[in-house]
Structure 1
Amino acid sequence: MQQYIDRFGAERIWAATVVVVFGGLALLAALFPQQVYVEFIWEYFWGPVVADANGWNCVAWAGGEVQSCDVAGSGAGPTASPGYTVTSYAGYIPTLLLLLTGFIFVIDRLDIERYRAGFWGLFPFMLFGGALRAVEDANVKVAEATGDAALSLPWQALLISPFTYVVVAVIALVSLVIAVWLERTGVIPGYEYGLAGIGTSLLAVTLVILWQWAAIGGVGFFPLITVTTLVVASTLTALVWFTIQRFAPELNEGTRYMGVLIIWAHAIDGVANVIGLDWAQAFGLPWDLTPKHPVNAAVQRYTGQLLPESITGVIGDVWPFLLLKVAAAVFIIWVFNEEVFEESPRFTIMLMLTVVAVGLGPGTRDMLRATFGV
């Protein structure tokens, strides 16, 4: 492989890979529309987005008319539900790695040296991504309440996972270029300050939009959900972090204090899921949330099957998901040891940012959509 990289260049090989993969998929979809587009692309990738955008639990292909399963009835072809499946994960993960590789080429050309500073500067963008996703939830509720939404497909898809990750990543990359330029022209002392400032501003604007739309289509405002999520997740993070520092400090040699953010991000996701899926009504919401991912759906299902109702009725059936998230976070900071950072600092930081984003993004979204009643 190295000989091809030396001969053609890594960037050209990456570009050729993108063209071959997605061009080949488009060609196959054109040649075999039913098998490739309808039964693969639509059923596992676009259909769930359509269902989510319309607030449907299930969408049917219905000969291309695309209807709610309740309307289409049986025999309407492939169906899809909001959220992810094992098949969609198998498609999204390689796509994500391709995207990360492309971003690394851009960062390479920017000639950035202080990568850890960039990690902290990008933190507000992870919160921004979750808030942006909650705005789409509010958009659906506005449509249900008024019959007219501010955004509709295909533009609405930009706010729905996984497309929203790409949108936020592109915005963050553009912001990074601007911040580096501001630093090198002497406007700011470090690019991380400009980066954090842009991300925080975007987050603030997004929260204002969420507030306004939730006032139209939401069922109320429940700030105690956010307070409880932040307090419980932060307390749990502190306990886990100090336990690691006391009994296994070698785990933190690579990530250092970035490990705190990794644990906290996934604790937020875990706590938000526990509250949203098991205790939302206890906080005043008229309904509990439903799981959007196969992992937390499986945890809820198997916990309910393994434990008697007398126990799950008291403590709920989603709490193992929180333990699983925290354990996964600890494993991740152990994997990202000092040697990994020394061998490939750019790619390692990008992977760490992705790890935080896939925890804090969904966690922030679940916390905010419950808080704003959308």
Structure 2
Amino acid sequence: MVLPEGFVLPAWYLLVPLLAVLGGVVALLWALGPPVTDRTVLAFAPWMLFGSTLHVLHRTEAYPDSIEVLFAAPSVYLVTATIAGVAWVLSIFLYSGGLQETIERPLGTIGTGFFAVFTMFLLVESVELGTFEPFWPVIAIVISGVVTALAWLILGLWFTDVAAITGATGVLVVFGHALDGVSTAIGYDILGAGEEVPLSELVLNAGHALPTAEYIGGGWLFIVVKLALAMVILGLFREYVEEAPRQARLVLAFIAAVGLGPGAHNVLLFAVA
């Protein structure tokens, strides 16, 4: 099995309009050609978290049956990208009209607002049901922050040019994959959660086959692999960022989302379920 568990496409009458709207938004953004900097990538971070919240709400069966498939994987990524793209277009117009000093400020603010409102709804519902457990989510975030700092220190000392060129975008890539790795390890080793991605499960099983599994579990190998991949990718992107910063940072933003999205999903799911 190659595809993650729960991977399902919506019916054509939902998928086709969604793809059409997303395609129109992408075409408009291509025509507008907004700049993409470190600040742009950071402004998209709340949108990555927002997508995770939408998917956790799907896991808790919060949506009507008629549209719930739109918030399963992979449709939730398309929905989030469409909403974020519309917000980006709106932010460009606000900046062009002199109503905002930067494009990134309204983009990040709108994303933060969406994430905060939907997450609050999720947490309030969890508190009412008596399932709210914040301990391990907080531990996962703290450990991820420490791991990110150490990894970035190593990258800065041994590959200074990579850290300097990729900047805040690189930090977000490392943190996103650190959060995914740490939260997955906690879920697998401590909370007894299953892994839905077959390739990730292979790494976790390999970790549990090592002699150290009896003492520290096997999830540490998954964390190391995730961090190593993130740092290797940043190294490979060094020249790309120098030569084509706009395109390179867009790709790195996607790579960051591949880590931060699942990581935030794990943390939220641990908190509410």
Shorter-chain TM-score category? 0.7 to 0.9
Helix, strand or coil at the partner of 1:369 = helix
Question: What is the correspondence of 1:83-232 to structure 2 with a 5 Å cutoff?
Answer: 105-139=27-61, 150-153=63-66, 155-215=67-127, 220-232=131-143
Displacement over 6 Å in runs of 4+: 43-47, 99-103
CA distance in 1 between counterparts of 2:237 and 2:190 reads: 34
> Structure 1, unaligned stretches of length 5 or more?
1-42, 54-98, 140-148, 281-287
Deviations 1:268-301 (A, max 9, x none): 0000001111112xxxxxxx21101112211122
CA contact (8 A) 2:38 2:168 kept: no
Residue type matched to 2:173 in 1? Answer: I
Corresponding residue for residue 14 of structure 2: none
Query: Does residue 343 of structure 1 match 2:243?
Result: yes
Cα contact 2:91–2:106 (8 A) shared by 1: yes
TM-score scaled by structure 2?
0.87
**Which amino acid in structure 1 is aligned with residue 213 of structure 2?**
T
Distance 2:201 2:119 in 1: 28
Q: Deviations over 1:288-325 (max 9, x none)?
A: 21101112211122333x325xx424312222111000
Q: Mean Cα displacement is larger for which, 207-216 or 252-261?
A: 207-216
Closer/same/farther in 2, CA of residues 45 and 151 from structure 1, 3 Å limit: farther
Cα distance per residue 1:201-257 (max 9 Å; x no partner):
10011112212443466x622111121111101101111111221222022243122
Q: How does 1:1-374 map to 2 (within 5 A)?
A: 48-49=6-7, 105-139=27-61, 150-153=63-66, 155-215=67-127, 220-280=131-191, 288-304=192-208, 306-308=209-211, 311-337=212-238, 339-373=239-273
Q: Is the Cα contact below 8 Å between 1:226 and 1:371 reproduced in 2?
A: yes
How far 1:102 moved relative to its partner? 7.9
SS of 1:254's partner is helix
What is the CA–CA distance in structure 1 between the aligned matches of 2:72 and 2:202, rounded to whole Å?
Answer: 22
Could you tell me how far apart the structure 2 residues matched to 1:274 and 1:102 are? 39
- 1:105 CA drift (Å): 4.2
- Structure 2 CA distance for aligned equivalents of residues 221 and 137 of structure 1: 15
Work out whether residues 49 and 157 of structure 1, in 8 Å CA contact, stay in contact via their aligned partners in 2: no
Secondary structure in 2 aligned to 1:292?
Answer: coil
* TM-score, length basis structure 1: 0.64
- Bigger relative contact order, structure 1 or 2 (CA pairs below 8 A, ≥6 apart): 2
- Once superposed, what is the RMSD of the aligned Cα atoms? 2.8
Q: In 2 relative to 1, CA 101–254 (structure 1 residues): closer, same or farther, beyond 3 Å? A: farther
Q: Distance in 2 between matches of 1:47 and 1:265?
A: 21
Can you list the C-alpha shifts for 1:311-344, whole angstroms capped at 9, x where unaligned? 424312222111000001101111111x312433
What's the offset of the Cα at 1:352?
A: 0.9
Aligned residue for 1:198, secondary structure, equals helix
Gaps of 5+ in 2: 11-20
Larger radius of gyration: 1
SS for the counterpart of 2:59 is helix
> For residue 132 of structure 1, what is the amino acid of its counterpart?
L
